[in-house]
């Protein structure tokens, strides 16, 4: 959907709140901290900006961020029983609503010193996001984004999650169309100026199969290998992509 300049201004504000949540929760990550502690930090940021949470209450989700540790890919629920330990990976997915418009972004952070393999997973996943964003130019086809993400992942020998994908975003957190992190076999729609998308590669150290835990939310790798997740909310402008959640 093509947005008006006024809508884009609201989405820019929502993006700033999301960026602040991720900056402050990243700062709070250390051994001994629980994922519920991170949720408290995020709630405080949302309150301070006078924004609203789009995650809290979404199909009954009980927190304002998702916290997904190690082999959990996405949608992990913050809890006081989930304590971060040296060497862990923690993915933090955050969102906010300002003036009725949504922002959505995610990062993966290492807890203390992490293994070389984990560090490379994090680095390549972030690189793949930026390779996708580079394709977000008016006139290009939507699925060039996924093609670029997949190329970076495959070159590094990493798995690309296919069951969960990016999305349009605006007055709802998840709007059509889907933005896969792989080439779906067709180019998809042409990208237009003032469209906004959430692009969010999820890569693994192993396979691409997923499973959902009995909590009904946590999406894990079927083979137990670790995963990383990076996401931004990005507008297509005359001058190329503009990242709202930087």
Asked if residue 242 binds Mg ion (CB under 5 A), the reply is: no
Q: What distance separates the 2 farthest-apart alpha carbons in the chain?
A: 48
Helix (H) or strand (E) holding 27: helix 5-28
Distance CA 47, CA 33 (A): 21
Pairing status of strand 232-237 against strand 159-160: unpaired
Asked if residue 195 binds Mg ion (CB under 5 A), the reply is: no
CB of 167 to Mg ion, least distance (A): 6
Asked if residue 104 binds Mg ion (CB under 5 A), the reply is: yes
Enumerate residues 6+ apart whose C-beta is below 8 A from 204: 73, 121, 158, 159, 160, 161, 221, 223, 225, 226, 227, 228
How many beta carbons lie within 10 A of that of residue 118, not counting itself?
A: 20
Nearer to Mg ion, 117 or 212 (CB): 212
Distance CA 5, CA 19 (A): 21
Count of residues that bind Mg ion according to CB under 5 A: 3
Q: Candidates 55-63, 103-111, 186-194, 211-219 — which segment interacts with Mg ion by CB under 5 A?
A: 103-111
Question: What is the contact mask toward Mg ion in residues 60 to 99, using x (rule: CB under 5 A)?
Answer: ----------------------------------------
Q: Which of 121, 198, 220, 236 binds Mg ion (CB under 5 A)?
A: 198
CB of 220 to Mg ion, least distance (A): 18
Distance CA 71, CA 142 (A): 29
Q: Candidates 117-125, 147-155, 196-204, 207-215 — which segment interacts with Mg ion by CB under 5 A?
A: 196-204
Question: What is the contact mask toward Mg ion in residues 152 to 191, using x (rule: CB under 5 A)?
Answer: ----------------------------------------
CB of 105 to Mg ion, least distance (A): 8
Nearer to Mg ion, 198 or 202 (CB): 198
∠ CA 89-22-13, nearest 5°, is 155
Residues near Mg ion (CB under 5 A): 104, 198, 200
């Amino acid at each position: 959907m093509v947005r008006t300049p006024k809508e884009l201004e609201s989405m820019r504000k929502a993006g700033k709140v999301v960026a602040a949540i991720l900056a402050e929760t990243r700062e709070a990550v250390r051994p001994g901290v629980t994922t519920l502690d991170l949720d408290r930090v995020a709630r405080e940021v949302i309150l301070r900006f006078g924004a609203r949470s789009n995650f809290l209450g979404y199909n009954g989700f009980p927190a304002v961020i998702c916290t997904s540790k190690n082999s959990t890919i996405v949608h992990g629920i913050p809890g006081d029983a989930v304590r971060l330990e040296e060497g862990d990976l923690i993915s933090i997915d955050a969102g906010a609503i300002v003036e009725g418009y949504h922002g959505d972004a995610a990062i993966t952070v290492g807890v203390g010193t992490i293994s070389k393999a984990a560090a490379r997973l994090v680095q390549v996943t972030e690189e793949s996001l930026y390779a996708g964003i580079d394709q977000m130019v008016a006139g290009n086809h939507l699925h060039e984004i996924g093609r670029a993400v997949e190329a970076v992942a495959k070159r590094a020998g990493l798995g690309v999650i296919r069951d969960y994908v990016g999305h349009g975003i605006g007055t709802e957190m998840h709007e059509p169309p889907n933005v896969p992190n792989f080439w779906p076999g067709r180019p998809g729609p042409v990208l237009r100026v003032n469209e906004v998308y959430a692009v969010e590669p999820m890569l693994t150290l192993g396979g691409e199969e997923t499973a959902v835990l009995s909590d009904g939310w946590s999406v894990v790798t079927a083979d137990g290998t670790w995963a990383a997740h990076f996401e931004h909310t990005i507008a297509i402008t005359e001058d190329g992509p503009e990242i709202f959640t930087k």
